[in-house]
Amino acid sequence: MDSAKAAAKFGISRRRVEALCAEGRIPGARKVKGKWQIPSSAVKPVDERSADVVPDDQLSLFDTIKKDRKTTLDRAEVCRILSVSPTTLKNWVRLGKIRSDPDGATFDKKYIFSLSRSMKKGEDGRLRTRRNKNKKTGKSVASDYVGSTGNKEAVKRLASLLPSLSLDGMRSALAGCAARLYLLSRGSSTEGASFSSVLESDSEFRSLMTDLVGGDKLTEKQSKTFDTAVSSEISFVPWEDTLGSVYLSLSDVSDRKHSGIYFTPDVIVERTLDLLYSTGGIKNGSAIDPCCGTGNFLLALAKRGFPVSSLHGADVDEISVSLARINLFLNSPSTGADSLRKTIVRTDSLASRKEADYSLVVGNPPWGYEFEKSRLASLAKKYESADKKGAESYDLFVERGLDLLGEGGRLAYVIPEAFLNVSSHGAARADVGKRASFSFVSFVGNVFSDVQCPAILMGLEKRAGGDVTGCVVERGEKRFTVGKGRPPFSDGSVFFSDDAEWSALSRISNTPGARYLKDHAKFALGIVTGNNKEFLSEERLEGYEPVLRGTDVRRFRKTEPSVYIKFEPEKFQQCAPEEIFRAPEKLVYRFICDSPVFAYDKDRTLSLNSCNVLIPGIKGVGIKYVLAVLNSSAASFFLNKKFRSVKLLRSHVEAVPIPRADEATAKRVEESVDALIAGGTSDVYEKLDSLIFDLYGLTDEEIKTVRSSVSEKNRFLL
């Protein structure tokens, strides 16, 4: 067969077939009178332009299932398809909200995919329930991804014209946008532009476009999509990742979340590079983004003068890699297609721990990617932060990023703030502490649309020891440089305080003779009903009793509950032992709050999961004394500077030092607590707060620092 027939068989362009023949990669191919003749039995060779190390679990979910002919799915597969947690799936099965096979461990594939389609269309209400409200589906225009207002609106209009796209449709839409940007960047008119006419204009661009589309011809349907995109109102803005904005806006939110992909707004990219340059700059050498997406970090570096020839990128998503190459070519036309294929590659950066010598590693690694069990087993052998039970993708990329750096090289990542303190990231933090030191940490909050997950910009230097001295910290309007005397990095508490706050925190943390609730208390989560509308009533029906919510808890005393529940633990999704709720004395506290709020309860009241339970058991220490300490400004300061979380976890409460007090002082504390439970004023609280300060041994200057730090927090006093 000739090259045209081979191109049709392989699904690639004729030009690419002829190049493969010339490279000797199609056995038996030979040139006869200037034309290539190819054996009819020939198969398409592996594309070496895309490193072929992408594991099955990192292919698209559609491709993975399409390859698999089995008729049932296991629990992990169902969780991935429906975008729910294993716990949620377990509860749905238990409560009869989803149908499993008789064995309880497998599910009919057709049924699950039908359910998934209904959920995505909004025909099924599961994803609209409170506990799944973050599992959004459908399109979400990336209005904050690029800076130019005109392109934001143009992309929004294009997304409305192309509401539902197949994979081929997505490729042709992106090709249309790429063609438009190419013509505009070269000062050419886009009027009447077609796929074939654009390909004929530039052989280098043609090569990159055929990589994106998968050939040099479009079907009639693809051509219509291409024409819609090429005639859009998108403008060429030098070094802007407009193509990434289009790709993001035309993709389904649930598909992106399943893969942990959150494209980084350009304002965050620029802020990351500002910090890099202002805290020591970048050595001459080469840079890599090991999870480059469509290349916005690489574009931003090139915009600042970093040589395009020294920029490298990798990603598992084939379309993203194609767009990254096109992006760089549009802005640096002297960089050829073959050169870009060598530096921007489709590969799994986590597949190898081979070290490199880059001077800079940048990027926004995937968050929350769901690895298959077989993949986890492989990763557990290579990475400190992985085990067979699970791994967080951005932890792995932090480890891998340090592998890729030469000594003294720098890393700058956008990652969740949870990296700094959540216990599950301890192994990754330990690795950073051994191999790197910090140059900056910027707390930027919720920067991604549709994602409630505070982020940080983290700058490291490959220099062993975990040194934090000189690290620039940004938090809101506050900016400071960490002074000397702090321990090596082990958790984020070293960045939550300036030097004056660190002095007060150290004083509290090292209180002589302090005792702790760890191993000396009972904790319990409030009732998880699984469906509050079904189980709660605003009227006190027969058999119902009051149940506390977090909003019913004030410091020292609770308010009268406004909802009621019938205590039927066997019907609830989760319920602590009844004796915990019925204890003659207990403390209840808000699970979510920016400062600790504990109340005393002797009425054996039930509580929901927004209101958790603590029964202290430190020998010789009264429950009301513990209540006073936990409600103090000192404890609020400690928890905020140590953990910086609006969720008050058991491990946080267990870490609060409970200072010792002589019998007379303890009695004074408990008398003040009794007064506050009975409705005491703020003056009573202030005197009690001062007494707790004295028990911690804080200096006047440290007390002033603590008071200033917590002054804007709600005291939740009645």
Distance between CA atoms of residues 311 and 304, nearest Å = 12
| pLDDT band at 154; cut points 50, 70, 90 | very high
Q: 305: which residues sit within 8 A by CB, 6+ positions away?
A: none
pLDDT at residue 76 tops 90:
no
Confidence band, pLDDT 50/70/90 cuts, at residue 596? very high
- Residue 69's pLDDT band, with cuts at 50, 70 and 90, is low
pLDDT-derived band at 126 (thresholds 50, 70, 90) equals low
Q: What is the DSSP string of 399-449?
A: HHHHHHEEEEEEEEEEEEGGGGT-GGGHHHHHHHHHH-EEEEEEEEE--ST
What pLDDT, in 10s, does the model give residues 691-717?
Answer: 999 999 999 999 999 999 998 887 777
Q: How confident is the model at residue 32 (pLDDT cuts 50, 70, 90)?
A: confident
Q: Tokens in use for 300?
A: 């931003």
Show the tokens assigned to 466: 């975990």
Please report, rounded to a whole number, the percentage of residues in the chain having pLDDT higher than 90: 68
Please give the pLDDT value at position 136. Answer: 46
In this predicted structure, the answer to whether residue 449 has a pLDDT above a threshold of 90 is: no
Q: Is the pLDDT of residue 348 over 60?
A: yes
Q: For the residues 155-159, what does the mean pLDDT come to? A: 93
Global pTM reads 0.78
With cut-offs at 50, 70 and 90, classify the pLDDT of residue 269: very high
- Say which residue the tokens 């891998």 belong to: 400
Q: Over range 352-381, report the average pLDDT.
A: 92
- Both tokens of 559, joined, read 């308010």
Q: List the domains of the chain with CATH numbers.
A: 3-37 (no CATH), 56-132 (1.10.1660), 265-291+349-495 (3.40.50.150), 521-710 (3.90.220.10)
Least confident of 49-63, 250-264, 670-684, 695-709: 49-63
3-state SS, 305-332, equals CCCHHHEEEEECCHHHHHHHHHHHHHHC
**Which of residues 138 and 570 earns the better pLDDT score?**
570
pLDDT score of 120: 61
Q: What is the mean pLDDT of residues 616-620?
A: 96
What is the number of residues in the chain? 718
Q: Which of 22-36, 78-92, 521-535 has the lowest mean pLDDT?
A: 22-36
pLDDT at 131 over 70: no
- DSSP label at 486? P
Question: Is residue 160 pLDDT above 80, yes or no?
Answer: yes
157 pLDDT more than 70: yes
Q: Which residue, 505, 462, 511, 467, is CA-closest to 486?
A: 467
Tokens for 67, please give them: 């390859």
Nearest CA among 698, 691, 636 for reference residue 669:
691
Q: Does pLDDT of 255 surpass 70?
A: no
Question: Pick from 380, 415, 373: which is nearest to 395 by CA?
Answer: 415
pLDDT value, residue 474: 97
Q: What is the pLDDT of residues 9-19, one digit of tens each?
A: 777 777 677 76
- Pairs from 212-215 (Cβ < 8 Å, separation ≥ 24): 212/171, 212/174, 212/175, 212/178, 212/319, 212/322, 212/323, 212/326, 213/171, 213/172, 213/175, 214/11, 214/12, 214/168, 214/171, 215/7, 215/11, 215/12, 215/13
Non-local CB neighbours of 628 within 8 Å, separated by 6+ positions: 669, 670, 672, 673, 688, 692
Tell me what the mean pLDDT of segment 503-531 comes to.
96
Contacts of 216 (CB under 8 A, 6+ apart): 13, 14, 15, 196, 199, 206, 210
- Give Cβ neighbours of residue 28 (< 8 Å, ≥ 6 apart): 38, 39, 42
**pLDDT tens-digit readout, 655-679:** 999 999 999 999 999 999 999 999 8
**SS3 track for 215-268:** CCCCCHHHHHHHHHHHCCCCCCCCCCCHHHHHHHHHCEHHHHHHCCCCCCCHHH
The CA-based angle 673-675-681, given to 5 degrees, is 105
Q: What is the pLDDT of residue 442?
A: 97
Over 90: is that where the pLDDT of 680 sits? no
Tell me which residue of 448, 137, 406 sits closest to 264, measured CA to CA: 448
Kindly report, residue by residue over 286-344, the tens digit of the pLDDT.
Answer: 999 999 999 999 999 999 999 999 999 999 999 999 999 999 999 999 999 999 999 99
Instruction: Reduce the DSSP state of residue 610 to 3 states and report it.
Output: coil
Distances (CA, A) of 458 to 150, 417, 438, 675: 31, 9, 8, 47
**What's residue 658's pLDDT?**
98
Tokens of 443: 């707390």
415, β-bridge pairs: 456
- Mean per-residue pLDDT for 178-187? 96
Residues 42, 28: contact at Cβ < 8 Å? yes
Mean pLDDT check: name the lowest of 88-102, 279-293, 465-479: 88-102
Count the neighbouring beta carbons within 10 Å of the beta carbon of residue 690. 13
Task: Kindly state the helix (H) or strand (E) to which residue 456 belongs, with its residue range.
Answer: strand 455-461
pLDDT of residue 551: 93
How does DSSP assign 71-123, residue by residue? SEEEHHHHHHHHT--HHHHHHHHHTTSS---TTSSEEEHHHHHHHHHHHHHT-
**Cα(411)–Cα(439) distance, integer angstroms:** 9
